[in-house]
Amino acid sequence: MNVMDTRATSAMLYLDGVHVSFDGFHAINNLSLALEPGEMRAIIGPNGAGKTTMMDIITGKTKPDEGTVLFDGVTDLTRLDETRIAELGIGRKFQKPTVFESQTVQDNLLLALNVDHSVRGTLFWRESRAETERIQKVLETIRLTDARNRLAGSLSHGQKQWLEIGMLLAQDPKLLLVDEPVAGMTDVETHQTAELLKEINKDHTIMVVEHDMTFVRELGVKVTCLHEGTVLAEGSIDQVSSNERVVEVYLGR
Amino acid sequence: MFGYFLERFRALVLSVLLIACFALPAFAGPFEDAVAKFANDEFSDTAEAIEAVASSGNPLAFPIISALQEERLSADPESKKVFITQADGKIIDAATGAVVDKLPDNAASVRLNNRLRRTVEAALGSLTLLSPDPAKRVAAAQSVFKSHDENALPVVEGALAKETDKAAKQAFTEARAAIILFKSDASDNDKLDAVAVIKARGDQEALALLTSAGSDQPPLVAQAITGAISSIQSNLAMWSAVQNAWYGLSLGSVLLLAAIGLAITFGVMGVINMAHGEMVMIGAYTTFVVQEVIRTRYPGLFDYSLLIAVPLAFLVAGGIGVAIERSIIRFLYGRPLETLLATWGLSLVLQQAVRTMFGPTNREVGNPSWMSGAFELGQITITYNRLWILCFTLAVFVILLAMLGYTALGLEMRAVTQNRRMAASMGIATSRVDALTFGLGSGIAGIAGVALSQIDNVSPNLGQSYIIDSFMVVVFGGVGNLWGTLVGAFTLGIANKFLEPVAGAVLGKIAILVLIILFIQKRPRGLFALKGRAVEA
Amino acid sequence: MSAHILTRSLDRAATAFILIVAAVGILVPLSNLLLPQGSFLQVPTYLVALWGKYVCYAILALSIDLIWGYCGILSLGHGAFFALGGYAMGMYLMRQIGSRGVYGNPILPDFMVFLNWDKLPWYWYGFDMFPFAALMVLVVPGLLAFCFGWLAFRSRVTGVYLSIITQAMTYALLLAFFRNDFGFGGNNGLTDFKDILGFNVQADGTRAALFALSCLALIIGFLICRAIVTSKLGKVLIAVRDAESRTRFLGYRVESYKLFVFTLSACMAGVAGALYVPQVGIINPSEFAPGNSIEAVIWVAVGGRGTLVGAALGAVVVNYAKTFFTSGPLAPYWLFMLGALFILVTLLLPKGIVGTFNSWWEPWRAQRVAAVESAAREDGISEPNSAEQAQ
Amino acid sequence: MITQLTHDIARLSRRGWLAAAAGLVLGLASSPFSPAKAADDTIKVGVLHSLSGTMAISETTLKDTILFLIDEQNKKGGVLGKKLEAVVVDPASNWPLFAEKARELITKDKVAVVFGCWTSVSRKSVLPVFKELNNILFYPVQYEGEESERNVFYTGAAPNQQAIPAVDYLMKDEKVKRWVLAGTDYVYPRTTNKILEAYLKSKGVKQEDIMINYTPFGHSDWQTIVADIKKFGSAGKKTAVVSTINGDANVPFYKELGNQGIKATDIPVVAFSVGEEELAGIDTKPLVGHLAAWNYFESIKTPANEKFIKDWQAYTKNPKRVTNDPMEAYYIGFNMWVKAVEKVKSTDPDKVIDALPGIEAPNLTGGVSKMLPNHHITKPVFIGEIKGNGQFDVVWKTPGLVAGDAWSKELEGSRDLIGDWVGKKCGNWNTKTNKCGGQGS
């Protein structure tokens, strides 16, 4: 790992001049962005704006061609792989809900718990009261207590989204990256999710990518609009949604 | 004993030949006795007969000896009569030249062995040095070059003086040089000139000649010979790199041909078809059936048999491919590892089915005349069958690229593989496209079988020997990219052929496999991998 | 070792399996040795050898199921580890021949004598000692698997690509072992064994002991696999199988997990090979043939992957069928049947025998035990509920 | 998808486990080997040849041959007044399966004798079984020698009955000075080439005039090797190729030879594994004059051979079906076994084994072969040239019959060994130390 001598920035997450291209297509173009500790940030933008690719870069799935990605002001994420980044405390929820479908809800959470992840540790692992209680608490938060022994694959779409958020909670990361958490949810569920995220935001820094403007509005946080891999506008939801360019490329007139 | 005999015989032939140039005296009795010896079915008698006949000066000598070479000479062991079956089917009595109606029932063709075959070649070579056909004169001169028989020198020199054809002149010059080099009483200067001529020829024959002439030469000549040998050797070493490259291209074309169908079914559709090799085998057996029909019904069409087999093999293998897709593979989309197992089972069934139908032994597939033989390009030999296979492979590749790029089916295929649901909603019958794509891949494997039948066994095991190599090519080149398959095949082919002389065939192959395994670690998705998010989807 | 791992892995069904294998492992040799020849209950020696072979195959199948069924690694080269274990044992047996070979050379095996080798190659040293050979049975396959896996998993070669390079690996080894210069007897391999640990390999008693030992190895292998799949490690493996990158984002070092099970599985396959060789009497390069490895995968598919017991069952059933159909009038059709089996199992029985059996059985059982379920809820982690499993 | 296919082990029903385990036991218990009642009115003959897999290409014919010979014998009234009954099994080109099937034939089917195996490795694989269960194996294929076992009778050629006479012929009649020994990399070519190399050196051939080349099984790209042969052959000395290339690889090898224009008159190739059956798959016109050394050719005109071919073609209902050397080896071996059984009036293996040495049976080429104490037989050696019609033309033969040597006289390790199952009762008797058991120490 690569730790710099002094904190270069106070930001929890700091992207500077990031570029990445696939076969000549510039997916991310000179992207710069900073997330303060404890902040929740909503990212919006049209399809292909580079939202998911940005998350891939932060979590180590994609290596940028150039640019800096600093976590907690000291760690250069571009040098690390997914596992190391997850260990540092960055959790991610995927666009398409990704849970372990052939395992129970409870096991999904158990796997997500931020404990010893070594081969030895898992082989000789035994249940502890503390862990059971953590799981119990998360289950309550995501309202799946009754479904704890069901296979994750048998959950509804919305429940899976929640389970995945629950897994993030169990992981207890410093920074949560949440990709389209309300896609396919009913209005009520969307509202509940917004409440949940706000609740989580009390102890965690969060970055949310979302298309649902009602949801973004409900979160009531700073918004960044991406377009063609670069930041188009940044500010409160009202400022951004009144921005000429944003309206032109994304929201539509 | 034999060598002595050969020498004596050559001397005789040539001296008689020289006489024969001026007059044709007619001997009667001895000639007929000599001819009758062919009927004794003893190699030594046959040899004597050749000697006697060739030296007889009889106008029937040439027809008899050339008939002997082409196995058209038959003899009746009881009546001791010998017959020539002429090219037009007419049968004549070899001793008299009289036309006969038919061969006696117990007449058998006169047998030869390698020794006699060489005698016959030498006799014919001497008899044809003055042939009106320049090509025959070149061949005759080359046989003198190999035998460097001193007695032929006057004829060669005579012929050289009169010669107008450029190639024949060159051949006679070289033949003369060869004789002089071995002539013990030739002057040093002549010999040095001869060495220069042979050195200029520069091929393996020249090297062989110089090497065997190396002993007991005058010091000056010996020195020149040593110089010439090393110069030819270094020249040949350079050519051998070219030769390796050509072999590599040729092997690469075979690999490409075998793999290209797989590049479609595996690369484009993601179906791991372990029965791919069996599609190749089916193509080869189609060729066999086509040739059988042609042999029995239309022997004149034999040279076109492959042209007929190509479309048929495509249809047969493609049809079987479509049937497989409809009955098995379509139930397994999205489960690549299970497809692998099912198609492996299928390959066992197909192999055993062919074994039951055609028998377990190899089947004979002949080379049409335009695919037989070889020609020299500089100092390398290029065989026609390899050359045609290379051209054929490239043609198939180009046609396939064009098909995928410019036809409606190609467009639909690409659409379906890139986004099945979207393609379906655009009104493309995806299941039909799947079947046709698989059929196309299988059909191309069938075509590959036609080509491979020209260089390999046609047996039920044919497919097995190509399947692993094909997968290596596709994986190495990068899945889903036909250009990758092309580059992959040629890279592996050439690498293999440059490794083979150094490490031997077995180690070379192991080395290639290990290199591929290591390469996949470096680039898990092959040489020409697709990048970006789409890959993960 | 923590006892809890063992208790966790032994539910009643696993115990039953172990008891049955143990019973077979004890009764068959006893019947063979103690009952009079020709009596109805006596198991003839050739059946002991044959069944011993099946049991070795069952261990191999178990090792494949561990990585394929639970971790999603489809190795088409597992026969290579089996064969390497076999060769290690074969080398020991070869050295035991001593001067009883046809040439009577006390050091060199026969094939080296007639190919004019003047001394034993260095890699044959030590194989005259059983402990060393036994260690090599584990180390050689394990080391190869470790190196191969270390390269492949670290560079994230997965799925079909991994399958194909494992195939390339076993194919390369096949070619290498064919080479006589390699010093392993070339195509003929190692054969004509005399003694193992001082006992005649062809004696009934030795065969019976080897059979019992194979059953014991099957039980131990099964226990190890069970211990792994019922631990949290097992859950991680399934997570890797179902959603590899998700597992990474949770902070698991996926390649370490894969490497661990792959190496362990290779060691198991090596043990299976080592037990196979003295019972079969020969080890040669054809064991490396890619077709053999694919066939072993089929055993697992037939029995039901991800069930362990199914893998063992599949190995026995398919090989029994092979024995049965390669004799008599059906012999020429054996490949038709094997091929059809591959196709039908993947098309109609994708869960294999045990898996399919369970999916019929489970819903019915679920109703019956629904009442008991609520009581069992609190310790749900180690005893997951299957009420929802009806599919 | 996979997720649905597999289940956590713990979720398996307990009954499911029990049932599965019970199934396992049933599978083991209900074996196919409920000991068969050996019918008393027949003598069972085991046939152990691969009918599927890679070796089926060669072995299927031999299975048919034995069935044909049994059929002929039964027409004559069988043996000892009993009909012969063939028991055919398919070891599927799988070497361990050969051992398993051999065991099954002997133990379950109680066969009196087994005819089988083609590859050396299959013979090596069944050897311990035959020794342990004390039965008889007739092995009909030319092989590398270096073996003499009490339970095995070798009716194919030993190296001195094929390789050495062929090399002698080339040296004397073709004046060959330079040798390419090309083979597939397995034991038979390795040993044969070792023997030939030693033999050639003893005849004064220098190391640089011998080129040895090995290729993998089923090698199909011969361009480089054929070019190397051509290069090697252009050193000004008469060159020949001695080919121990295995069956499948021969077709592409000969095709490449033909296409690169290597004619038999320039560089003759003499092969030990190419017979009528193999040539049936090649257009032989470009190969005319290349050689093969065998103990039998279909084209040899003797009344016995003509009758054999006619009956064989009638039996297989295929007027084009060819015959070959291993078939003749079976013809001889089968008749020897019949004679031995009739001599001792029993099929008891011990008695038959003791009776066999000394038994004589006519071969198909006009001579009478004899079983030797080392369990090999005497055979004539023929050199044949390939003809345009896929047959061979015999151009040379040994004056008399050649006795098969179990142990090569050319190899250091086996020079002093002999096999003698009559006097010494030993397969590896050392004539120097006068002890049984190889070189001793």
pLDDT tens-digit series, residues C177-230: 988 888 898 888 998 898 999 999 888 899 999 999 999 999 999 999 999 999
Write the DSSP symbol of residue D412.
G
Mean pLDDT across A56-67: 88
Measured between CA atoms, how close is B500 to chain A, in angstroms? Answer: 37
Assess contact for B59 and B68: CB atoms under 8 A: no
In this prediction, residue D37 carries a pLDDT of 43
Across the interface, do A123 and C5 touch by the CB < 8 Å criterion? yes
Q: Which residues pair with B53 in a beta bridge?
A: none
Measured between CA atoms, how close is C250 to chain D, in angstroms? Answer: 19
pLDDT at residue D398 above 60? yes
Chain B partners within 8 Å of A53 (Cβ): 533
Binding-face residues of C in 5-44 toward A, CB within 8 A: 5
Q: Which residues pair with A19 in a beta bridge?
A: A66
Mean pLDDT across B121-145: 78
User: B13: pLDDT confidence band, cut at 50, 70 and 90?
Assistant: low
Buried b (16+ CB within 10 A) or exposed e, B384-393: bbbbbbbebb
Across the interface, do C236 and A94 touch by the CB < 8 Å criterion? no
Across the interface, do B506 and D215 touch by the CB < 8 Å criterion? yes
Across the interface, do B468 and C290 touch by the CB < 8 Å criterion? yes
In this prediction, residue D332 carries a pLDDT of 96
Binding-face residues of D in 73-102 toward C, CB within 8 A: 88-92, 94-97, 99-101
Poorest-pLDDT segment among B48-62, B299-313, B523-537, C16-30: B523-537
Q: What is the mean pLDDT of chain C?
A: 87
> Would you tell me the crossing angle of helices B219-262 and B464-477 to the nearest 10 degrees?
80
Binding-face residues of C in 357-376 toward A, CB within 8 A: none
- Most confident by average pLDDT, A51-60, A115-124, B266-275, C87-96: C87-96
D131/A contact by beta carbon, under 8 A:
no
C389/D contact by beta carbon, under 8 A:
yes
B533/A contact by beta carbon, under 8 A:
yes
Poorest-pLDDT segment among B530-534, C91-95, D366-370: B530-534
In this prediction, residue B25 carries a pLDDT of 42
In this prediction, residue A253 carries a pLDDT of 53
User: C380: pLDDT confidence band, cut at 50, 70 and 90?
Assistant: very low
Q: Which residue has the higher pLDDT, B53 or D24?
A: B53
When scoring A102, A106, A155 by the number of chain D Cβ atoms within 10 A, the one with the most, hence best to mutate, is: A102
Binding-face residues of D in 34-73 toward B, CB within 8 A: 52, 54, 56-57, 60-61
Assess contact for C106 and D441: CB atoms under 8 A: yes
The ranges assigned to domains in chain B are 2-116, 130-217, 242-536
Across the interface, do D8 and A103 touch by the CB < 8 Å criterion? yes
B360/D contact by beta carbon, under 8 A:
yes
Sign of the CA dihedral C251, C256, C260, C262? Answer: positive
Residue tagged 């036309």 (tokens)? B99
C158/D contact by beta carbon, under 8 A:
no
pLDDT at residue B354 above 80? yes
Q: Which residues contact C67 (CB under 8 A, 6 or more apart)?
A: C73, C75, C261, C262, C265
Residue tagged 């014998």 (tokens)? D73
Assess contact for B471 and B517: CB atoms under 8 A: no
Chain length of chain A: 253
CA distance D180 to D184: 13
Q: Which residue of D has its CA nearest to B70?
A: D388
Mean pLDDT across B248-265: 91
Between chain A and chain B, the number of residue pairs with CB atoms below 8 A apart is: 11
The ranges assigned to domains in chain C are 2-287
Give me the residue from C168, C290, C338 closest to B516, CB to CB: C168
pLDDT tens-digit series, residues A121-154: 888 888 888 889 999 999 998 888 888 888 998 8
Assess contact for C262 and C153: CB atoms under 8 A: yes
- The CATH code for residues D160-294 is 3.40.50.2300
Percent of chain D with pLDDT over 70: 90
Give me the residue from C245, C251, C380 closest to A148, CB to CB: C380
pLDDT at residue B207 above 90? no
Q: How far is CA C312 from CA C219, C231, D16, in A?
A: 11, 21, 14
Q: What is the mean pLDDT of chain D?
A: 86
Residue tagged 């019947």 (tokens)? C31
D235/B contact by beta carbon, under 8 A:
yes
Chain C partners within 8 Å of A92 (Cβ): 249
Mean pLDDT across B384-407: 92
In this prediction, residue D375 carries a pLDDT of 96
In this prediction, residue A6 carries a pLDDT of 55
Q: How far is CA B468 from CA B524, C165, C290, in A?
A: 18, 10, 9
A153/D contact by beta carbon, under 8 A:
yes
For D89-129, the three-class secondary structure string (H helix, E strand, C coil) is: ECCCCCHHHHHHHHHHHHHCCCCCEEEECCCHHHHHHHHHH
User: A109: pLDDT confidence band, cut at 50, 70 and 90?
Assistant: very high
3-state secondary structure (DSSP) of residue D83: strand
- Most confident by average pLDDT, B194-208, B468-482, C246-260, C342-356: C246-260
Amino acid occupying residue D432: K
Which stretches of D223-359 are assigned E, i.e. beta strand? 239-244, 269-271, 291-294
Assess contact for B319 and B279: CB atoms under 8 A: no
Write the DSSP symbol of residue A96.
S
Q: What is the mean pLDDT of chain B?
A: 84
User: D9: pLDDT confidence band, cut at 50, 70 and 90?
Assistant: very low
When scoring B148, B362, B389 by the number of chain D Cβ atoms within 10 A, the one with the most, hence best to mutate, is: B362
C123/D contact by beta carbon, under 8 A:
no
Burial category of A21 from C-beta neighbours within 10 Å (exposed 0-12, middle 13-18, buried 19 and up): middle
Chain D partners within 8 Å of A153 (Cβ): 3-4
Chain A partners within 8 Å of B533 (Cβ): 22, 52-53, 56
Assess contact for B243 and B377: CB atoms under 8 A: no
Following DSSP, what letter does each residue of B441-510 receive, concatenated? HHHHHHHHHHHHTTTS-BSTTTTHHHHHHHHHHHHHH-TT-HHHHHHHHHHHHHHHHHHHHHH-HHHHHH
Chain A partners within 8 Å of D4 (Cβ): 102, 153
User: B140: pLDDT confidence band, cut at 50, 70 and 90?
Assistant: confident
User: C367: pLDDT confidence band, cut at 50, 70 and 90?
Assistant: low
A59/B contact by beta carbon, under 8 A:
no
In this prediction, residue B19 carries a pLDDT of 46
In this prediction, residue D70 carries a pLDDT of 96
pLDDT at residue B149 above 80? no
A102/D contact by beta carbon, under 8 A:
yes
The ranges assigned to domains in chain D are 160-294
CATH number for the B242-536 domain, one of 1.10.3470, 1.20.120, 2.30.29, 3.40.50?
A: 1.10.3470
B89/A contact by beta carbon, under 8 A:
no
Q: Which residues pair with D378 in a beta bridge?
A: D403
Mean pLDDT across C40-62: 91
pLDDT at residue B417 above 90? no
- Most confident by average pLDDT, A71-85, B193-207, D357-371: D357-371
Assess contact for A88 and A28: CB atoms under 8 A: no
Picking from B460, B464, B278, the residue whose alpha carbon sits closest to that of residue B355 is: B460
Q: Which residue has the higher pLDDT, B130 or D239?
A: D239
Mean pLDDT across B283-294: 94
Residue A205, φ and ψ in degrees, nearest 5:
-90, 140
In this prediction, residue B529 carries a pLDDT of 67
pLDDT tens-digit series, residues D103-123: 999 998 999 999 999 988 899
CA distance D360 to B60: 52
C45/A contact by beta carbon, under 8 A:
no
User: D278: pLDDT confidence band, cut at 50, 70 and 90?
Assistant: confident
Mean pLDDT across C96-109: 86
pTM score, two decimals?
0.87
When scoring D44, D67, D88, D90 by the number of chain C Cβ atoms within 10 A, the one with the most, hence best to mutate, is: D90
Residue D72, φ and ψ in degrees, nearest 5:
-60, -45
Write the DSSP symbol of residue A65.
S
Q: Which residue of B has its CA nearest to D269?
A: B114
3-state secondary structure (DSSP) of residue B20: helix
Poorest-pLDDT segment among B220-224, B315-319, C258-262: B220-224
The ipTM estimated for the assembled molecules is 0.85
pLDDT tens-digit series, residues D136-148: 999 999 998 889 9
In this prediction, residue D75 carries a pLDDT of 94
